[in-house]
Amino acid sequence: MTVDASPITPPISRRTLLHTAASATVGLAGILATKTPPLYAATRTLTMLTLNHFVPASDENLKRWAKEFEKANKCHVKIDFIAHRDTYAKVAKEQETRTGHDIVLMFFSKPHLHHEALETLDFMEELGKKLGGWYDLARDAAQVEGRWVALPWFYIPACMTYREDLYQQHGFPPPKTWEEWKETGKKIKRTQRAEDRLDQKEDHKRKV
């Protein structure tokens, strides 16, 4: 049996070796001097701006998900929690200065307000298929001109409330749909005195 002992890689000249070693040393010296690792070695950081949730456990869950994401993607996740009333001005400032967080929480129609500064989320249709499809409400909130600019996170439903005593007084059953709620409310309103009607004032004193 004959064994081929010839080198697999081409030989390197002394000049090439010294040149390569010198370049590597200079690069290392730069890293040590600036304490900045090269891009391929640097740990990426993902930043997020969100609100202080009124349910503390929600924030703790978000932090746990961030840790899981860090482990799966070998990166660092930094989450800044602020009061929800401060998010509007904060997001507007970040759009104006073109600096800030990678991910931001936006309420209501804010994705439509800031859509020009938001990235297109090309994965949304595929994600929707995996999750069983998007509700029209999600598309209305997160799509602008056919472009996904936001990812729906959660939805807080508006609960239907009504005066049980007034419904009983007028012989109306509890409303089962928003249309029933609206129509019965109109009929009750026409028969009630102004001071007895429902309103949104905190100092309202109803008379029964």
The pLDDT of residue 89: 94
The pLDDT of residue 104: 94
The pLDDT of residue 24: 42
The pLDDT of residue 163: 87
The pLDDT of residue 198: 55
CA–CA separation, 107 vs 114, rounded Å? Answer: 11
Q: Is the pTM of this model over 0.85?
A: no
The pLDDT of residue 172: 94
The pLDDT of residue 38: 57
Residue stretches of the chain with pLDDT short of 50: 1-10, 12, 14-28, 30-32, 34, 200, 202-208
Quickly list H helices, 4-161.
Answer: 14-34, 56-73, 84-97, 110-113, 124-131, 136-142
The gap from C-alpha 22 to its chain's centroid, in whole angstroms, comes to 47
The pLDDT of residue 156: 79
Q: CB atoms < 10 A from the CB of 118, how many? A: 19
HSE-CB of 147 using CA atoms within 13 angstroms: 12
The token pair at 162 is 């009504």
Tokens 């002394």 appear where?
A: 14
